[in-house]
Chain A
Amino acid sequence: MSGAVLVLEVALGAAAAAAGGLAPRNIRVRVAAALTAAACVAAIVVAVDVLGSGHPVAVRTAEILPLTGAGLVLGQLGAVLVSVTAVVAIAVCVYWPGYAHHGLSSRAASCVVPVFVTSMLVVLEAGDTVTFLVAWELMALSSLLLVLVDQDRREETRSAGQWYAVMTHAGAASIVLAMVLVSAHAGGHSFAAIRSQAGHLPGGVRDVALVLALVGFGSKAGVVPLHVWLPKAHPEAPSPVSALMSGAMVNLGIYGILLVGDRLLGGGPSWWWTAVVALGVVSALYGALQASAASDLKRLLAYSTTDNMGLVLVAVGVSGLLADGRHQTLGALAMVAALLLVVNHALFKASLFLSVGSIQAATGTRELDRLGGLVRRMPVTTAVFVVAALAVAALPPLNGFVGEWLLFQSLLHGLEVSGAVVGVVVSVAVAALALTGGLTVVAFVKAIGVGLLGRPRSPGAEAAREVPHGMQIGAGLLAALCMVLGVAPMLVVPYLERAAATVVAGGRSSVLRGGIELELSGLHGVLAPAWTAVGLALVAGVAVGTRDLVRRRPKRRVAEGWACGRELLTPRMQYTAASFAEPLERVFDDVLRPDRDVTVSHVAESRFFVERVAYRSSVGDVVERVAYRPAIRAVRWWGSRARALQNGSVHRYLGYGLVALLVVLVVLA
């Protein structure tokens, strides 16, 4: 039965794409969104069935792909990620019709969004390398189209599209090489066949495949130093697309690393896991730092995605290291933490991107320094944004807190394990993650404080109105799920445990216990998120009640606030995003290398009187400047040299053909 639903899901996705391409203008977005959501519901039905029964669902067809046929096998790990992807996509589908006229209503967009969603689901359901790679490429291409669709008038969008195209194709090439290498040596292209041969692969092949997979999937997950496309493409894409990319697509990078590292090759050597942790730590720190310095709201969120994927990679790497050292229980715990972090990130980040889409639609800007005062004008969107932002900042009683608690539990218990490598890696990771947590809070305090509170800083923010209900519901749905998982994580944790047990070889599936409380069996650690929530609610209630009591005192005097001696308070006197981040930029000057520029212009009559002082500060991406710009210059130079080959003479070109032909003949003979 489930197999049929799996086919139905793909068919619904295809129908949605066809409807988006063919339906008349006034209904096409609605029809495409409804059919896509239906496909996602089908996906969730299958995934829940797989997670409940513990048996994979498999479908094969020889017709779709020539030579090899297409095979779908949905296992437990895939099912977890399919559910997450589908939930995010459903929320986006609810949101999309309201957003459509802000740049996602064209025939092309309505056709490609369903393709993007369906191909992401198929990537997770693929049972062999060919199906996987075809779906992966489809996903990469459709997401590229969606970055560029409807917005081709802006120069930045075009440049972002180029960056994304190059990075995603370089990544895809690397993945293709890894998969081809592994399946050629294993003598079969289905994942099951490769897994059964994994032990017999030569060590060199395994190492090369692991590195290639890490590069290819790492670039999709936005891992430093392959993250450069993320802060360009995510801001420039229409917000529902950003939500899909950041909430669902980056997860597939993590899935790929788990797929190749654990499921295909059955675990890697410890240096590989150490590399994964190192990448994770660097990504988490760098992402958090850049997020706290960013002044563009979507750029901030994009860097925060890098930060969160870094956390997931730390958990994945530590899990591998611990499982390698025969601490399967701890390894499984770290893997549960990784999966929970992925689930959480998908929910809150998609919700944040959708809220920012609402804000951008209402105010026409996403620059923090042009927003402000939205809490009175857009109360629902503000509430959704705040809930999701608190979840990112890992504050209880939200899901982010539970995820990070599990991560730290697995790290701290990992410290007790003997072994120099594990000890060093884990202690560095704990320190770095503590700093990351602090920086994340800074970034989102800035986003809320400067972007939503205070007074409006621009006419656009002044005139903001609450967005249509569909958009509020789409973003709100995900924020509500963040709260539910924060209070009752045991709703999903047992499933994550089973999925983790399929990934970590020999991992016991009963690390965690409890109904309301989350208890680590055999280890010391109990968390009662529901009681925490009740406690926080009590504290908040007492605080509000006390304030009301205080207010009710009759002697209240209304007076003007202190305003440097001036009567009039203007929005320009508020704290700005730049000023908020300035101290941090100073501390991390060497890493961020901000560009500061002060221009003083004098009055024409005298140099002693200043007419105006302009201060500009921008934080670029230091990795891009140091690593990518020189590489691009080198390619440019090489390209201009190579132009000498092409001088317009037909004879020369034919001569090249002759020489190439001769070389081939000689080589082949």
Chain B
Amino acid sequence: MSRSGYVAMLDLGAGVVLVCAVVTLWRRSLAAIIRVLALQGVALGGVALVLGLRQHDGALVVVSFVVVAEKGAAIPAVLMRVVPRGPTSRELSPLVNVPASLVAAGALTLLAFAVSGPVVALVPTATGRLVPLGLATVLIGVLAMAIRKKAVSQIVGLLLVDNGIALVAFLATGGFPLVVELGASLDVLLVVVVLRVLGSEIRSRYGVLDLDELQELHD
């Protein structure tokens, strides 16, 4: 793989991760959002694979397969089972409407570029300039959690945050050690499973999976 090809592949992978994050804010259908999330997982795995091949790092290649399997396949599959059929499977009335949230995502991306200077300066290699994309993904994930009402959207927001952190880690440090990555992946999987069970429970008890309805439980 030539150097320019390597850089282009990394640009593409990291770009797809960010674009996927923005798309989750744009789409309303929960099923579509989860498919976008799966694509993001694959792109993240791709970034790790490219880095691993370039640096002849076998562990990183293994990590990339783990990432694709977990974030590209396992987690979306678990989430898909929570999504009900019918009109309730759409994010009908988010707290902030879609155009406004897209504008907010743009603003957050700009902010990410503005503030990640110190981190970029720390990374010696060319991959450092892509770090702001990871940070932007994290911020958009937190935004998604704050403005979406469906429990599934919240989980997706959390996963966006996790993917963003993973992207920054891959780009800035060439990936975590294998053990740490495996541990983190297991954690995330566990969180998703717990949320899935909790989500089903909430729905069976209250008939909805809208977190705003839970506000009455306060006090």
Contact = CB atoms under 8 A, between A and B. Distances in A.
A649 B211 CA distance: 8
B85 interface: no
Contact of A651 (B115, B147, B217): B147
Given A651-B146, A651-B149, A662 B111 contact: yes
Contact of B212 (A651, A657, A665, A668): A651
Given A669-B115, A669-B117, A650 B214 contact: yes
B118 A648 contact: no
A661 B146 CA distance: 13
Contact of A669 (B118, B149, B154): B118
Interface string B87-125: 000000001000000000000100100111110000000
A649 B145 CA distance: 12
Contacts of B214: 648, 650
Contacts of A654: 142, 145-146, 154
Contacts of A640: none
Among B139, B142, B154, B212, residue most surrounded by chain A Cβ atoms (within 10 Å): B142
Interface string A631-669: 000000000000000111111001101100110011011
B146 A658 contact: yes
B3 interface: no
Interface string B138-160: 01001101110100001000000
B218 interface: yes
Interface string B173-184: 000000000000
Contacts of B4: none
Contacts of A648: 214-219
A655 B146 contact: yes
Most buried by A among B111, B117, B217: B111
Nearest to A653: B146
A662 B139 contact: yes
By secondary structure, the B interface counts as helix
Contacts of B145: 654, 658
Contact of B115 (A647, A649, A655, A666): A666
Nearest to A660: B142
A665 B119 CA distance: 12
Given A647-B215, A669-B117, A657 B149 contact: no
B218 A668 contact: no
A103 to B, nearest CB: 37
Interface in A369-400: none
A657 B111 contact: no
A462 B63 CA distance: 83
Contacts of B117: 669
Contacts of A666: 111, 115
Nearest to B118: A669
A147 B114 CA distance: 54
Given A658-B146, A665-B115, A651 B211 contact: yes
B142 A658 contact: yes
A661 B108 CA distance: 11
Contacts of B116: 669
A654 B114 CA distance: 23
Contacts of B154: 650, 654
A41 B149 CA distance: 67
A647 B218 CA distance: 7
Contact of A668 (B111, B115, B215, B216): B115
B146 A657 contact: yes
Nearest to A664: B115
Contacts of A649: 212, 215
Given A665-B111, A668-B115, A669-B117, A651 B95 contact: yes
Contacts of A658: 139, 142-143, 145-146
Nearest to B219: A648
Nearest to A650: B211
Contacts of B212: 649, 651
A662 to B, nearest CB: 7
Given A649-B212, A658-B142, A662-B139, A668 B147 contact: no
13 contacts: A648-B215, A648-B217, A648-B219, A649-B215, A651-B95, A651-B146, A651-B211, A651-B212, A662-B111, A662-B139, A666-B111, A668-B115, A668-B118
Given A662-B111, A665-B111, 12 more contacts: A648-B214, A648-B215, A648-B216, A648-B219, A649-B212, A651-B212, A654-B145, A655-B146, A657-B146, A658-B143, A668-B115, A669-B117
